[in-house]
């Protein structure tokens, strides 16, 4: 799974755990699970994603030649290092 | 901030000037910038009174696909902007785009905001022709961070 992070300055806490093609997002202590294992090749309309969180942290998701690519909201604090403000994509096995 | 005729000017009299300086600083209270920053989604400024401005200009790869809306056909480019900083309430967002077909700027191109939240805004560019080069999108969001 290829993960792209979209950085945003925020005072809130948002973390992720990955297992296979399932992503658990935890926002200020509240968690929701996003399972992409059934996503076929093509782009997912993420505006239709339902979540119990008050914001949807999944900004984009698509499968290209079988590989899942997901863009996730990623919060950072003030004076964050460049690696957090300009994050590079990560491959999660 | 508006000019306030009741704020005294300095007079070179020590006590008067201390009072005048104090009054001037009190007038500036809550209007100071408390944080500025930049990340991959643009720039932001936060003022002490809760005002926040975000802005971003970039040159995305053109991805105009054919689209029919009612009796009108054209080409649509999707661009969802994640603000560089979170808003506490829905901000006001404006965006304007431009683009060219084989380096001929398209004056028919227009820009719409189709969705706004506290973290993202959906931006769409519409053109009569299939824009294929030199796309620029400028975006501004203004609202509150606290």
Per-position DSSP letters for B41-110, written without gaps between them? TEEEEEETTSEEEEEEEE-PPP--EEEEETTEEEEEEEEEEEPSB--SSPPEEEEEEEEEETTEE-TT-E
Per-residue pLDDT at B124 exceeds 90: yes
The verdict on pTM exceeding 0.95 is no
Give the 3-state secondary structure of residue A26.
strand
- In terms of Cα–Cα distance, which of B9, B139, B146 is closest to B79? B139
For B41, phi then psi, to 5°, come to -100, 5
Quote the ipTM score: 0.93
Output the pLDDT for position B25. Answer: 81
User: For A78, which of B37, B117, B118 is closest by C-beta distance?
Assistant: B37
A53: left (phi over 0), alpha (psi -120 to 50) or beta: beta
CB contact under 8 A, B35 and A78: yes
Chain A residue with CA closest to B118: the answer is A55
pLDDT in tens, B47-104: 999 999 999 999 999 999 999 989 889 999 999 999 999 999 999 999 999 999 998 9
pLDDT in tens, B23-48: 888 877 778 999 999 999 999 999 99
β-strands B65-69, A42-43 pairing = unpaired
Output the pLDDT for position B1. Answer: 62
Output the pLDDT for position B14. Answer: 76
User: How far is B35 from chain A, CA to nearest CA, in Å?
Assistant: 8
Query: Where do we find the tokens 């000019």?
Result: B3
Per-residue pLDDT at B15 exceeds 90: no
- In terms of Cα–Cα distance, which of B58, B54, B49 is closest to B118? B54
Per-residue pLDDT at B7 exceeds 90: no
């Amino acid at each position: 799974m290829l993960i792209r992070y979209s950085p945003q300055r925020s005072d809130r806490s948002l973390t992720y755990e990955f297992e296979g093609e399932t992503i658990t997002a935890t926002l200020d202590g509240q968690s929701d699970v996003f399972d992409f294992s059934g996503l076929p090749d093509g782009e997912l309309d993420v505006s239709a994603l339902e979540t119990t969180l008050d914001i949807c942290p999944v900004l984009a998701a698509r499968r290209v030649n079988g590989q899942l690519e997901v863009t996730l909201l990623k919060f950072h604090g003030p004076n964050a290092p460049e690696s957090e403000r300009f994050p590079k994509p990560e491959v999660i096995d | 901030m508006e000019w306030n005729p009741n704020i005294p000017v300095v007079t070179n009299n020590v006590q008067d000037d201390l009072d005048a300086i104090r009054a001037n600083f009190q007038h500036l209270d809550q209007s100071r910038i408390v944080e500025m920053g930049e990340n991959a989604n643009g720039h932001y400024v936060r003022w002490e009174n809760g005002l926040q401005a975000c802005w971003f200009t970039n040159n995305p790869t053109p991805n105009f696909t054919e689209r029919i809306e009612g009796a009108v056909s054209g080409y649509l480019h999707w661009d969802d902007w994640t603000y560089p900083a979170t808003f506490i309430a829905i901000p006001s967002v404006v965006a304007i785009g431009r683009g060219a077909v084989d380096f001929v700027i398209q004056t028919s191109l227009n820009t719409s905001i189709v969705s706004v939240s506290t973290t993202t805004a959906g931006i769409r560019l519409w053109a009569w022709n299939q824009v294929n080069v030199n796309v620029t999108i400028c975006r501004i969001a203004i609202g509150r961070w606290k």
